[in-house]
């Protein structure tokens, strides 16, 4: 059994940190006000708005970002951790993460994109986390419901989703532990001690801004690593701005159908149930998933997913 953090109550403190890319204060204003309006107290990490340029605009050096995440994980006054954004940089922190106090007082970690590697790390230690919208409001926006569903989880309510089926869906009813997140990071962790355990799991993937050959290369790596022989189900979320980076105008939809076709072709020899177009990822309608939770997935004329 995986460990679920305790529910939050009004007045609890939520740490806001930037473990990867840098952010501007204006980009977090709406998110921070939203947290306050829900009755919680956002506590800003020391390096939340720090910038360090080293081939990429990080939110501080590796040591600065590590200091903030370890503070948030282990401070007894903090009840949840909400990341400002993804980007790149979370892999830098894995070797230095400290869960000594966190293990005594587990708390929700909320984020997606690059935060997939932190969530894989937490799951290795037995802790679930929320793969959901960050505090930064993205260029493609975010729905109020996407945030409200996260607050529901923080209060102890597990989500249930009922969706339209997609023509590429593969029918079936299964139960299992949900793993995954951003495909590029799942791919980046393959062969390391921080990679997800895929055995008998239901895998979720989403992606943004990759050329189609890069998407296929990542899927091929999962194939060669035996991932598709191990999992019992697959959920595909947003595939945003995929294709030729020189002309993304034709690939602005959140669910790129050609990306779906590539994925469907790559897994065609396997018979596990598959859901295409789940509303989670680098998309406006980014509904949270609980990584590490047991789920029931029923795929027929409609798709139902229960935690």
Which pLDDT tens digit goes with each residue over 180-238? 999 999 999 999 999 999 999 999 999 999 999 999 999 999 999 999 999 999 999 99
At residue 251 the predicted structure's pLDDT band, cuts being 50, 70 and 90, is very low
| Structural domains counted in the chain | 2
Task: Name the domain boundary from 97, 129, 154.
Answer: 154
Judge if 170 and 186 occupy the same domain.
yes
- Domain boundary among the residues 154, 180, 201 is at 154
Whole-number Å distance between alpha carbons of 172 and 218 = 25
Q: Is the pLDDT of residue 246 over 60?
A: no
The residue behind tokens 């194939």 is 223
164 with 259, same domain? yes
What are the tens digits of pLDDT across the range 178-191?
A: 999 999 999 999 99
The predicted-structure confidence for 108-157, as pLDDT tens digits, reads as follows 999 999 999 999 999 999 999 999 999 997 667 789 999 999 999 999 99
Same domain, 173 and 301: yes
Q: Pairing state of beta strands 201-208 and 233-240?
A: parallel
Whether 205 and 239 share a structural domain: yes
Round the average pLDDT of the chain to a whole number and report it: 95
Question: Please, what is the end-to-end C-alpha distance for the chain in angstroms?
Answer: 14
Asked, for residue 8, whether it belongs to a domain, the answer is: no
| Under 8 Å between Cβ of 280 and 206 | yes
On whether both 149 and 166 belong to a single domain, the answer is no
- Its domain, for residue 75, covers 13-154
Residue 218's domain is classified under what CATH number? 3.50.30.60
Residues 170 and 267 in one domain: yes
| pLDDT computed for residue 1 by the predictor | 86
Q: What is the CATH number of the domain that holds 71?
A: 3.40.50.10740
Average the pLDDT over 284-303 and give the result: 97
* 2 assigned to some structural domain: no
302 lies in the same domain as 165 = yes
Are residue 141 and residue 90 in the same domain, yes or no?
Answer: yes
Do 134 and 265 belong to one domain? no
Same domain, 164 and 150: no
Q: Which of 109, 129, 154 is the last residue of a domain?
A: 154
Same domain, 216 and 279: yes
Question: What's the pLDDT at 250?
Answer: 45
Question: pLDDT tier at 249 (50, 70, 90 boundaries)?
Answer: very low
């Amino acid at each position: 059994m995986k460990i679920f953090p305790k529910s939050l109550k009004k007045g609890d403190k939520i740490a806001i940190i930037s473990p990867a890319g840098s952010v501007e204060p204006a980009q977090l204003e709406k998110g921070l006000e939203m947290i306050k309006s829900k009755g919680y107290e956002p506590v800003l990490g020391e390096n939340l708005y720090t910038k360090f340029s080293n081939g990429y605009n990080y939110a501080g050096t590796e040591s600065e970002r590590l200091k903030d995440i370890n503070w948030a994980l282990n401070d007894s006054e903090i009840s949840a951790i909400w990341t400002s954004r993804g980007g790149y940089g979370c892999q830098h922190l894995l070797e230095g993460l400290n869960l000594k106090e966190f293990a005594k007082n587990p708390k929700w970690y909320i984020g997606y994109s690059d935060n997939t590697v932190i969530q894989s790390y937490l799951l290795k230690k037995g802790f679930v986390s929320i793969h959901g919208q960050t505090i930064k409001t993205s260029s493609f926006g975010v729905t109020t419901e996407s945030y409200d569903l996260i607050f529901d989880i923080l209060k102890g309510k597990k989500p249930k989703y009922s969706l339209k089926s997609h023509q590429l869906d593969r029918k079936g009813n299964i139960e299992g532990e949900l793993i995954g997140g951003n495909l590029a990071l799942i791919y980046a962790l393959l062969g390391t001690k921080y990679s997800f355990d895929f055995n008998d799991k239901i895998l979720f993937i989403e992606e943004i801004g990759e050329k189609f050959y890069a998407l296929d290369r990542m899927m091929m790596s999962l194939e060669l690593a035996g991932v598709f022989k191990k999992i019992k189900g697959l959920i595909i979320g947003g595939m945003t701005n995929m294709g030729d980076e020189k002309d993304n105008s034709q690939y602005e939809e959140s669910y790129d159908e050609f990306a779906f076709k590539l994925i469907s072709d790559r897994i065609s020899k396997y018979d596990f149930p598959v859901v295409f177009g789940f509303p989670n990822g680098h998309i406006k309608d980014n509904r949270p998933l609980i990584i590490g939770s047991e789920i029931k997935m029923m795929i027929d004329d409609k798709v139902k997913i229960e935690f």
